[in-house]
């Protein structure tokens, strides 16, 4: 294994991806960025050492682009120690208010993109094992579904399942598989509407529901801990910890609250 370790981050142009890029770069890692947004990646690159940074435009829905992006990064970095499968988009609101196009795009990016990323990364991670890691961004929405979160929760339950499945499937290869399960994180995604029929930003609904917004730096620290630790699922923020506790010990109460509220968070 080389002296400089390397991480490739999908969705590295903003939010969690950018914060994780900064954290790993500060720890001396070579950082690769993949994102659909060239402008976003330029913003992240400006915060990093250009000598230890690489970026490539990547649509995670395209399996071929994954192969090309990882091969290009590995050639520059000398290999890949960690793939951070992070790219994702939000969707919320009543299911009947979500268009087929919105639903398909969310499923394709949040779920298919993670599967394609894992599949493409496998040979690179196996070559660096033991000590390599696949890290996925799941969510507190993958703990217990809530009104207004049916499609998004479905994708994040899926990411959680992928993590658990590959944890077993890749154990013999020495590849660690982990995920992050954050609540609401301070990123630009909070300032967009949950679906086309809504003109109210997600941030406003979060505040109205009395939920906390966790600093994005907390996710970056959690990502570092997840890659270097043994925990399969890493919870981030009060919302995630509360949901985990309630789902495990008070499922009846959680269901009652869901049914009583009925109002979609999105």
Q: What burial class does residue 207 get, using C-beta atoms within 10 Å of its C-beta: 0-12 exposed, 13-18 middle, 19+ buried?
A: middle
Residues in CB range of 158: below 8 A, 6 or more apart: 110, 111, 114, 142
Local structure of 259: helix, strand or coil:
helix
Is 144 noted as a catalytic residue in this protein?
Answer: no
Cα–Cα distance between 90 and 112 in angstroms, integer? 15
Which one of 84, 152, 170, 184 is the catalytic residue? 152
Under a CB-based contact definition with an 8 Å cutoff, are residues 44 and 17 in contact? Answer: yes
Cα–Cα distance between 76 and 145 in angstroms, integer? 41
Q: What are phi and psi of 7, to 5 degrees?
A: -125, 135
**Catalytic residue IDs:** 152
């Amino acid at each position: 294994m080389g002296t400089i370790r390397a991480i490739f981050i999908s969705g590295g142009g903003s939010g969690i991806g950018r914060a994780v890029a900064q954290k790993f770069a500060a720890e001396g890692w070579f950082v690769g960025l993949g994102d659909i947004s060239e402008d976003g990646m330029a913003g992240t690159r400006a915060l990093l050492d250009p000598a230890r940074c690489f970026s490539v435009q990547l649509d995670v829905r395209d399996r071929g682009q994954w192969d090309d992006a990882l091969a290009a990064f590995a050639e520059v970095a000398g290999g890949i120690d960690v793939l951070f499968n992070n790219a994702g988009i939000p969707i919320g609101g009543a299911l009947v208010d979500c268009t087929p196009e919105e639903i398909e795009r969310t499923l394709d990016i949040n779920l298919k993109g993670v599967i394609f990323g894992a599949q493409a990364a496998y040979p690179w991670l196996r070559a660096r094992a033991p000590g390599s890691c696949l890290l996925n961004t799941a969510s507190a929405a993958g703990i217990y579904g809530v009104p207004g979160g049916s499609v998004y929760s479905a994708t994040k339950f899926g990411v959680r399942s992928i993590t658990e499945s590959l944890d077993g499937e890749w154990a013999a290869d020495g590849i660690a598989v982990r995920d992050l399960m954050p609540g609401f994180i301070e990123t630009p995604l909070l300032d967009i509407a949950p679906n086309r029929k809504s003109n109210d930003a997600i941030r406003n609904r979060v505040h109205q529901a009395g939920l906390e917004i966790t600093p994005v730096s907390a996710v970056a620290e959690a990502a570092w801990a997840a890659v270097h630790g043994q925990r399969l699922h890493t919870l981030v923020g009060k919302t995630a910890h509360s949901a985990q506790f309630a789902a495990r010990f008070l499922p009846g109460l959680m269901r009652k609250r869901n049914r009583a509220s009925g109002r979609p968070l999105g």
